[in-house]
Amino acid sequence: MSDIEQPAGELWGREGFREDPYVTAETLEEAGDAPAVILPLGVWLGLTEEIRNASNRKIGVVVAPGESVEPLLPLLDSIPVIALEFPAFSDGRSYSKAELIKNQHHFKGELRAVGDVLIDQVAYMLRTGFDTMKVNHAVTLNRLAGHNLHDVPGYYQPGRGSHTVPGTYSWRRVPGA
């Protein structure tokens, strides 16, 4: 679409847009010699430990909403990026997966949201643990470019990127590290 200020291929994070170093491929062969690749969950799980941990390329994994992240949990240290798909903005399973991966299992790599993301969902994603997003929604891209996250001044739940407020209830947080 012509009204997108940012090229759709770019990756957004708290610091703004940047180039996505990863290519997405169905198989490792298809990725050719790309130094960073994201593979479907089933393919990724089928790789040998040696290939996964190879030092010359980064191999990340993309997980569809209907797929469980359970098999990844013991292997988190060997994954540079996990991309959780949002084929439709209304499918919220990946929020809980983000919670499990980042907060319960302390994933250190990049957690990425991919797909149909409304601007009003970006703040939720950051709070549940997403680091980056690759969005296909034109209005969202425009708003992100304008640094308008539609956030609120306070949260009623703990979450990433927020801290406690002295003198108020334990479940409340305000934005900021």
Partner 1 sequence: MYRYDEFDHAFVSARVEQFKDQVERRLAGELTEEQFRPLRLMNGVYLQLHAYMLRVAVPYGTLSSRQMHKLAHIARRYDRGYGHFTTRQNIQYNWPALKDIPAVLDELASVEMHALQTSGNCIRNVTADHFAGAAADEVGDPRPYAEILRQWSSMHPEFSYLPRKFKIAVTGADRDRAAIQVHDIGLHLKKNESGELGFGVYVGGGQGRTPMVAKKVRDFLPVEDLLTYTTAIVRVYNLNGRRDNKYKARIKILVHETGTEEITRQIETEWQAIKETDLKLPQQDVDAIDAYFAPPNLVQRPEGWSELAAARKADPAFSAWVDQNVTPHKNPDYGVVTISLKPIGGIPGDATDAQMDLVADIAEKFSYDEIRVSHEQNLVLPHVAIADLRIVYDLLLTDGLATANAGLITDIISCPGLDYCALATARSIPVAQRISERFGNPERQADIGELKLKISGCINACGHHHVGHIGILGVEKKGEELYQISLGGSGDEICTIGDITGRGFSSEEIVDAIETIVDRYLEIRTDKEETFLATYRRVGAAPFKDALYSEVANAA
Residues that bind partner 1 (CB under 8 A): 65, 89-93, 95-99, 104, 118, 120-121, 123-125, 127-128, 139, 150-159, 165, 168-172
Closest to partner 1 by CB, 25 vs 111, is 111
Q: Beta 58-63 vs 36-40: how paired, if at all?
A: parallel
Q: How far is the CB of 134 from partner 1 (least distance, A)?
A: 18
Closest to partner 1 by CB, 47 vs 71, is 71
Q: How far is the CB of 98 from partner 1 (least distance, A)?
A: 8
- Rounded-to-10 torsion of CA 163, 125, 15, 37: 130
Q: How far is the CB of 119 from partner 1 (least distance, A)?
A: 9
Give the contacts of 118 (CB within 8 A, at least 6 positions apart). 89, 137, 139, 140
Q: How many other β-carbons are positioned within 10 Å of the β-carbon of residue 156?
A: 10
Closest to partner 1 by CB, 24 vs 103, is 103
- Residue 28, classed as helix, strand or coil, is coil
